[in-house]
Every structure is written in structure tokens, then in C-alpha cells.
Structure 1
């Protein structure tokens, strides 16, 4: 069975709820899913044999949310080489801001710098278009599942 680590960073809870919804749906698809809360991420380096999905919202001027920033900073400063890691990013944001999905873009850039490979294009969910980001994420799961099967670890 393929393992999926699902990590989230949230401000008001939308990214957490979206991640929880995705975890249930991914498990129903037959994957072993581990939903990791921000306070469980200290020192976490994803296994390259697992898939990684990051669901994150953007704060202020496009920053990574405060709850997940320590993990982001840890990855950035320790710079583990992860050439076999396959990941996907789900960003929640508001397109009326210039920094729309800035945290998702930062995570995408960082993981790419670490040698990891995105198996899907970054999903950017716009709060000006949907009040229920989890529904957009569920629709996206068809794309993710096809990519996960095609890129089996």
C-alpha cells in the first residue's frame, strides 16, 4: 500500500478542514494516509518512498502561516536532498491580493530546490470564487490519483 503524508498550515481553519477532508477521501481510494498536524512536524523529513501533499493558506504579505512556518524553515535550513520524493501542493488564497497563494508557491519552490518532483500542477483555490475549498480539492483528487498511480513510488 502506498503511503501519503498530508501536512497542513492554516490561519482560520480552512486549510485544516480541507486537509482533513482530503485525508478521508484519499484513504477511501485505498492509500494509507497520515494527516500530520503542524505541532507534529518538528524534525519531520518526508520519506522519499511516500507521497507528500501540503495544504496551506497564505497570510499577510504572502507568508507561510505561523503554525507551519517552523517546519518550512527547518526544511529550508537543513536542505535535505529529496530527489525521489513526489509531492503535490494545494494552496488556499484570495486573488484580490498580489500575494495570492504565496505560501503554496514558496513550498513548491522549496521542494523543487530540494530535488523533489511535483506530480501535479499546484492547485490554487481562490476564496473569491469558492466558499468551500474542500470541494475544489475533492474535484482535484481525480487528477492527483491518476498522477499517483502513474508515478507509483
Structure 2
């Protein structure tokens, strides 16, 4: 479940209780307010379910590419989705997953693609801040596996794209093999993102003939 969904739904539930116990509020208004809050909670739960389904993707043995993302504002997730779409359009299988869930993901047959945002001066975003909670030993599963990293950041910070570069370094240290050098993107620069897709087409995802 997305980290913010549980507290959001809990807050909405508290809101329902608050409305129901308000004295002097007409019954009709209580019903309308309660229904509106409950509907919003249902929307959040359905959204979360859709995200989980997307994250699982084509999970299990036989996945060609595993696309992992770490995002704070959603940009990395958006690029990861487009990366998956590009892979699938070329007849290959791809699975999309949060970087924090990489530890429980199967090894892909062709490669691991990581799209990682950096927050502040080299910090991990919330969907990537626990990816090595078990000490990183799971990375041995990716030894000799091909990988590529797109790192998002802001050049106004001295540790530009620091988290994405850290991920790339730790994958290489674990024995994974880079398809190409990490692609560094300043504030979502479209030209740099397009370069990522060109690199993929040259090194990892050849166009279908």
C-alpha cells in the first residue's frame, strides 16, 4: 500500500465520526457529509489497488525487464511507466515496482532499469528510502544482471542526482553490469529524458521489426 493511503483513510474515518457526533447538525447534512467522506475514502482505496496491480505488472518468472522507481513528486514514476510501455510495445515483458519493493522482486531475464529521484542534497525519496533495509544482501541476486539508471535531480544542489548515482554504484558493486552510464536529468529536462529512451533503444530494447 502507498505509504500515505492508510493515514489518509484513517483521517477520513475520524472525519466521519466527527460529523456523526456533531450536535445541532441536521440529519440530512450528516448523511450527505458522511457519504461524501466515505466516497473519497473508497476512491483512495481503489487508487491504491490500481497502483498495486500496476506495480505487480507481469510479475513472476520470465519477466524480461524489471523497472524500479523511486519518486517523491511522481515524475520518476511517470517516466518508469513510459519505460514499461516502450518495452512492451517492442514485444518484451516488463514489470513495474517501487524501489523499496525491489527486495521481494524476481530477477529479470534481461535487465533491471531504475528511475530514481533525489530529494534535497542527495537524499532518497520516500519510495526509495528503505530499499536496503535488509543491508543490501539481496543485491547479490542481481550479480551479472544488466542494469541502467536514470537519475533525476536539481543542479542547484552540490550532490546532483546523488541518490540515483548511489543506486548505480551499489548495483555495480554487487556485480551487476551497466548497459550504459547513468543518465542525469536536471528538473525533468525533456531532452535528457529522451536521451534515456534513445539509449534504451540502442542498448537494451531494440525496435521490433
TM bracket (short chain): 0.7 to 0.9
Alignment match of 2:183 (pick from 123, 127, 139): 123
Which 4+ residue blocks in structure 1 deviate beyond 4 angstroms? none
1:114 aligns with 2:174: yes
Distance 1:73 1:110, change over 3 A: farther
* Alpha-carbon distance in structure 1 between the residues aligned to 2:202 and 2:135: 28
Give the equivalent residue in structure 2 for 1:100.
160
Once the two structures are TM-superposed, the CA of residue 93 in structure 1 deviates from its matched residue by 0.6
Give the equivalent residue in structure 2 for 1:11.
72
Q: Kindly indicate which of the two structures has a greater share of residues assigned to strand.
A: 1
Once the two structures are TM-superposed, the CA of residue 147 in structure 1 deviates from its matched residue by 1.4
Give the equivalent residue in structure 2 for 1:20.
81
* Alpha-carbon distance in structure 2 between the residues aligned to 1:22 and 1:49: 17
Give the equivalent residue in structure 1 for 2:124.
64
Higher relative contact order (CA 8 A, sep 6+): 1
* Alpha-carbon distance in structure 1 between the residues aligned to 2:108 and 2:201: 18
Once the two structures are superposed, residues 65-108 of structure 1 have per-residue CA deviations (whole angstroms, 9 ceiling, x without a partner) of: 12222123436255526332100000111111101100111001
Alignment match of 2:198 (pick from 135, 142, 145): 142
Structure exhibiting the larger radius of gyration computed from Cα positions: 2
Contact 2:98 2:127 in 1 (8 A): no
Contact 2:183 2:192 in 1 (8 A): no
Any stretches of 5+ residues in structure 2 without a counterpart?
1-61
Give TM-score scaled by structure 2 length: 0.61
Contact 2:99 2:127 in 1 (8 A): yes
Distance 1:120 1:2, change over 3 A: farther
Alignment match of 1:54 (pick from 109, 114, 118): 114
Give TM-score scaled by structure 1 length: 0.80
* Alpha-carbon distance in structure 1 between the residues aligned to 2:93 and 2:135: 24
Give the equivalent residue in structure 1 for 2:98.
37
Q: Kindly indicate which of the two structures has a greater share of residues assigned to helix.
A: 2
Count of residues in Structure 1 that have an aligned counterpart in Structure 2: 145
